[in-house]
Amino acid sequence: MYEFLRAIVSFIFVLGVLVFIHELGHYLAARWRGVHVDVFSIGFGKPLYRWHDKVGTEWRICPIPLGGYVKPHGFADPEDVTEEERATYIPGKTFHGKDVGSRAIVIAAGPIFNFLLAIILFIGLFSIVGTPHLDVQPIVKGIVKDSPASKAGLEINDTIIKIDNLSQPSAKNIVEFIAQHPDLTTNIVVKRDNKDVSLPITIGTQIQNDKSIGRIGLEFKSSVNFKEPLSIIKAVPAAFSATWNITYQTVVGIGQMVTGQRSAKELGGPIKIAQMSGQVSHGGFADLISFMALLSINLGLINLFPIPILDGGRLVFYAIEAVIRKPVPKKIQAWGFQIGFALILLLFVFSTYNDVSQLSVIRWLTGHSN
């Protein structure tokens, strides 16, 4: 029960910070472009607490911590609202009354602030704690049920000291050897209770990019170590580089899922995020900051997807408007938003299904496990 509560509290904290920063981007950009903001809400539902600032924006704290929103003044087009609502518009302060460039800036600022948050978090992490280094050991941490590793008799905490003719191998060398030798029948020697145990094993096969890749179905133990902290001068470019690398790798990973090169079962949803939030809360400051930076990048990136209803979809409509010099027809926008809503709903359901179905399953891992 304690672990469950820890996960929920950590999830609410992490998501709350990321959503606040995202919406703060929209809010500050709106103020910069001369758009009045009616409401700034953290969470959904009936407000638990609300107040008005000196410029008239209503700030809300709501009980459902699964998002938030900023409501720019006059966000809807005049023809879509009643005469009574139009009568309340502040001249020169409406969102719809601004040029397409200003509207695009307000929309794009949310995702941009998520990337900026990641950069700031990385700068703090690299300059205070240091740059992270993943240390993977050839020690078995997990074994996939009915996998070649399981059938061969490998056990948790076995240390692999030899596979075929590869003696005293590193975790990386083991992964590479297995990947390059699908269907090979050989011996694997492990250190178990201070004794050397030799086990016959037949490496399994997985098709990837129309090529057979060896897999045996195990996970290695790993830990994150931090090198010496960087000076601010060095931490800044390192933070930009880390943010770019994570963004690039995420885009590549999503592309591989779309093309079938990677399983869509790797896609995680809110349950997985909550679960991981609880796990990183055990690791202390550095793990939490790293996790928040990673999620912030993902939140910014997802919002830039060209799907109507997301920020990226609106930016596509604004780009078309800038080219044809008139707004995209209302009917097309309406269809787009309906399709976008359906896609997001399906994505949410699918990712949640993945979370539930994989809660107690050790997946076949790539990279530093095999």
Catalytic residue numbers read 23
Q: How far apart are CA 253 and CA 165, in angstroms?
A: 33
The torsion angle over the Cα atoms of residues 156, 158, 163 and 166, rounded to 10 degrees, is 130
Output the CA angle 58-61-65, nearest 5 degrees: 135
The one-letter code for the residue type at 334 is: A
HSE-CB of 358 using CA atoms within 13 angstroms: 20
Surface-to-core class of residue 190, CB atoms within 10 Å of its CB (0-12 exposed, 13-18 middle, 19+ buried): buried
Produce one character per residue of 122-151: b if its CB has 16 or more CB atoms within 10 Å, e if not: bbbbbbebbbbeeebebbbbebbeebbbeb
- 6: nearest Cα among 358, 275, 273, 284: 275
Q: What is the DSSP string of 294-336?
A: HHHHHHHHHHTSS-BTBHHHHHHHHHHHHHHTSPPPHHHHHHH
User: 3-class SS at 156?
Assistant: coil
Surface-to-core class of residue 28, CB atoms within 10 Å of its CB (0-12 exposed, 13-18 middle, 19+ buried): middle
Distance from the Cα of residue 325 to its chain's centroid: 35
First to last CA, the chain: 33
Instruction: Please name every residue paired with 51 in a beta bridge, in sequence order, or none if there are none.
Output: 59
H helix intervals, the chain:
2-32, 83-87, 100-128, 148-152, 171-180, 232-259, 270-283, 285-303, 311-324, 330-357
